[in-house]
């Protein structure tokens, strides 16, 4: 059995890769260099892929800075900092990258069909990132229909399945699953900034730190000294 796993190198996608491996799939990881501010995550993706022992790890490169539209692809836009977690899902944040998951899933689908894979795993989560329109269950359901209608495999009744096992889980639940699977958190990367040390104040860092704290665990990732956590 073969599966393609969309791997950013973050906490969620790394957990999904380990889960796909534990479910008996031969895993083919695919990561994306879209000239994002936080390209540091690609180092984490490579490290996680090596740890779990994927069959192949591909990095697809393209440049979304050309039209910007997100604080992750336009350095002129400031990243949100120190935001209260309960406010993060009130509006679609400036860190939303236009149609990013549609682009990623399209590459994943093409890769999966070319190699005859049965599944495409993705680590989207609707609870912690409910402001993002392309992390919600109705979006995944719609993309599954695209998988069925837009491929030879799908038209022949053998559609590739999108598997989003974390979509309705809290971050604390994801960490618990990752702990059971042995995900090396110190090799993952969640921070939106482009530094070598996580900032602790962007939305992604704050969500991650809060989840570890809620569980009474220490996040082993290194954070900038003096940051407000």
157-191: pLDDT as tens digits: 999 999 999 999 999 999 999 999 999 999 999 99
Domains of the chain in start order, with CATH, are: 2-214 (3.40.50.620)
Q: Is the pLDDT of residue 90 over 80?
A: no
Is residue 227's pLDDT more than 60?
A: no
Tell which residue, 32, 164, 162, has the closest CA to residue 103: 32
**Averaged pLDDT for residues 46-62:** 98
Average pLDDT over residues 93-101: 95
Question: Which parts are annotated binding residues for ATP?
Answer: 7-17
Q: Is the pLDDT of residue 128 over 90?
A: no
Please give the full DSSP string across the chain, using - where no structure is assigned: -EEEEE--SSHHHHHHHHHHHHTT-EEEEEEEES--TTTTHHHHHHHHHHHHT-SEEEEEE--GGGT--STTT-TTSPPPBS--GGGTTSS--TTPPTTHHHHHHHHHHHHHHHHT-SEEE----TTTTTT-GGGSHHHHHHHHHHHHHSSHHHHTT-PPEEE-TTTT--HHHHHHHHHHHT--GGG----SS-SSSB-S-BHHHHHHHHHHHHTT----S-B-TT---
Which residue ranges are tagged as binding site for Zn(2+)?
191, 199, 202, 205
pLDDT of 6 strictly over 90:
yes
When pLDDT is averaged across residues 214-226 and rounded to a whole number, the result is 91
Q: What is the mean pLDDT of the chain?
A: 94
What pTM does this model have?
Answer: 0.95
Binding residues: 7-17, 191, 199, 202, 205
């Amino acid at each position: 059995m073969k599966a393609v796993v969309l791997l950013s190198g973050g906490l969620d996608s790394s957990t999904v890769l380990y889960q796909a491996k534990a479910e008996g799939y031969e895993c083919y990881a695919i990561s994306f260099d879209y000239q994002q501010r936080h390209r540091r995550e690609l180092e984490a993706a490579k490290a996680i892929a090596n740890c779990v022992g994927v069959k192949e790890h591909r990095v697809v490169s393209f440049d979304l800075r050309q039209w910007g539209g997100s604080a992750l692809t336009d350095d002129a836009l400031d990243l949100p900092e120190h935001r209260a977690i309960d406010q993060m899902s009130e509006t679609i944040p400036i860190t939303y990258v236009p149609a990013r998951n549609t682009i990623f899933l399209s590459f994943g689908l093409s890769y999966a069909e070319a190699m005859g894979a049965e599944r495409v795993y993705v680590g989207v989560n609707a609870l912690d990132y409910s402001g993002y329109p392309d992390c919600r269950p109705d979006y995944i359901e719609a993309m599954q229909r695209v998988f069925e209608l837009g491929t030879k495999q799908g038209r022949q009744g053998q559609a590739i399945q999108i598997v989003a096992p974390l979509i309705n889980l809290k971050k604390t639940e994801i960490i618990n699953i990752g702990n059971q699977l042995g995900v090396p958190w110190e090799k993952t990367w969640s921070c939106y900034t482009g530094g070598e040390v996580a900032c602790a104040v962007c939305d992604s860092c704050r969500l991650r730190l809060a989840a570890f704290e809620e569980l009474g665990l220490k996040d082993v990732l290194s954070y900038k000294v003096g940051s407000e956590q």
